[in-house]
Structure 1
Amino acid sequence: MSRLRSALWLPLFDELADPRAVANLAADAEEAGWDGCFVWDHLSWREPVQQVADSWTTLAAIATATERLRLGPMVATLARRRPAKVARETATLDRLSDGRLTLGVGLGSDRFGGELSRTGEQLDDRQRGRMLDESLAILTAAWSGEPVRHRGEHYTVDDITFLPQPVQRPGVPVWAAGFPGNVKPIRRAARLDGFFPINLEHPDQLAEVAGALTELRHGDMGSYDIAVSLPAGVDPLPYAAAGATWWLTEFDPGVRLDTVRGVLRDGPCQRPRPHRHPDRVGRPGA
């Protein structure tokens, strides 16, 4: 079993709606030996949540406050974003972070904040799935640095070259989210760089998912990632044995800063804590 990497997974609501506070958390997590800091990507959430931060601005703050952590939205609903704009955002953020961005993507949901229905976005899951796949095709073309000529069902990009390219080649790693029992998300994820299964209930369930992905990828799982979200009190090691490569800490929406700090101080899974580099640039708000 390879080492399981550990990341904070932060809902950017209420006390965590301050990007400086989240950047400080990320810097402290890096010092404590954590491997990543991922953030929720939402426009709104149901009560009692009142404050919601923009994920991309917060990720830029995290990128400038850290040197080693992987970071990214987990997950972005690409169907409510213009892929040409996402191409610029991802390349810029990957360069700002020196190649540490991972892009989590998914269909999204209207259940928790009405952020699709209340903004006039597409509500049909199948349509959003097609929009997601078309967006991913545009992103792959854009990250290549070659002119993008795309006329599809939902989007047009007419002869635009997206430079500068991301630091990571051939592009930013993409993890797709989906429910383990649904075939389409797993097939989509098999074509990408990782899978983020939602609502896992048992390590055996993850083992089935890992087996399906291994088959779809013809055994090529060397650099492939499978990320699981688990509360801090749940032992992630059985999930690592079942195929997980990342553990993302699961927090309730509206979690308090002190609660996150407590989990952060408890430390990551199976990770020695490095010393802070003496020449490290101070984090925002410090």
Structure 2
Amino acid sequence: MRFGFIGSYGTPAQQVALARACEDNGWDGFFTWDGISLDEPGFDAHPTYDPFALLAAVAATTERITLGAMVFALPRHRPWELAQRVLTVDSLSGGRLVLPVGVGVPSDQAFTSVPGQATALRDRAHLLDDVLGWLERSWSGESFDYDGELLHTGPFRFPAPPVHGRVPVWPVGVWDAQRPPRRSLDRALRWDGIVPQVRGDSPEDAEAGPEQIRELVSWIAEQRGPDAGPFDVVFQGRLDDDPATAAQQAREVADAGATWWMESWWDPTTTTPERLLERAQQGPPAL
């Protein structure tokens, strides 16, 4: 299992410094996030920054760590502009970019305050699939048209493919062992990994626990079959300050089958850039 760190708060300069601290202290990945104007108590007081601009700066100042955002809200991105930004960060980083993706949060005013934006969950889900399909076509190096459910474009061509031919995609998938929501889960199975969520009212409430990860990993194995290739399962949590306790937390999640631990601190009333840097400098536990 690898360990990523989310730069949830801080100025661009603080987040670049945080990413360097992650690389220097043994973390395997640095992830920012993708929001514009969140109409939520606490979150609306924190400035947000363009994730691709931040990741470009991080790519230019790091050499090893995986880069991404938790998560990219693809339905509100113009796919042709998204494709160009993905190629830019992928090239700068030497192929270290991954794309955790989702439908976006309905409290983002970039959805609700813009006439014509898709706001219904069903429409955002259709757009997510369309943008992913469009993005994949852009990696071919060939000229293409696109005719999706909600997205239709004439010819485009991006002659330079990603460094490794494509960029790994990890869609968000909602897990419910009793009633698996097939649309979001099937979307993840078509790609390279999954960011599991359960139903909840806050980022922490929506985090899957180790037992839910175990159930999901077993279900994925049944669906993909014994000859399927690698597939990432991303766990979001918070490591204890005590190294022994943190190692126990991580072992439990690794034993459940997760391939990434994502260190996730989101409480806007208690999480500060200074606290994030302090935590990053402690490094991940040894397994």
Count how many residue pairs are aligned between Structure 1 and Structure 2. Answer: 262
By relative contact order (CA 8 Å, sep 6+), the higher-ranking structure is 1
In structure 1, the partner of 2:257 is: 243
Amino acid at match of 1:89: R
In the superposition, the TM-score normalised over structure 1's length comes to 0.86
Q: Does 1:59 align with 2:55?
A: yes
Find the aligned partners of 1:90 and 1:138 in 2 and give their Cα distance.
13
Amino acid at match of 2:262: L
Q: Does 1:88 align with 2:84?
A: yes
Q: Deviations over 1:84-128 (max 9, x none)?
A: 1111111111001000000111111214x4442123321111111
Report how far residue 253 of structure 1 moved.
4.5
Q: 1:158 to 1:114 in 2, by over 3 A?
A: closer
Q: Secondary structure at the match of 2:257?
A: coil
Q: Which residue of 232, 235, 257 maps to 2:239?
A: 232
1:1-286, aligned counterparts within 5 Å?
4-11=1-8, 13=9, 16=10, 18-45=11-38, 46-48=40-42, 49-111=45-107, 113-120=108-115, 121-169=117-165, 171-181=166-176, 182-198=181-197, 199-220=206-227, 222-233=229-240, 235-254=249-268, 255-270=271-286
Q: Deviations over 1:22-43 (max 9, x none)?
A: 1111111101111000111100
Find the aligned partners of 2:208 and 2:72 in 1 and give their Cα distance.
23
Find the aligned partners of 1:129 and 1:253 in 2 and give their Cα distance.
27
Q: Deviations over 1:2-32 (max 9, x none)?
A: xx10011122x4xx1x212111111111011
- What stretches of structure 2 of length at least 5 have no aligned partner? 198-205, 241-245
Report how far residue 258 of structure 1 moved.
1.6
In structure 2, the partner of 1:282 is: none
In the superposition, the TM-score normalised over structure 2's length comes to 0.86
Cα RMSD, aligned residues only: 1.7
Q: Deviations over 1:144-186 (max 9, x none)?
A: 11112112232223221112211022x0000011221232211
Q: Identity of paired residues, percent?
A: 32
Find the aligned partners of 1:42 and 1:177 in 2 and give their Cα distance.
16
Amino acid at match of 1:118: S
Report how far residue 193 of structure 1 moved.
0.4
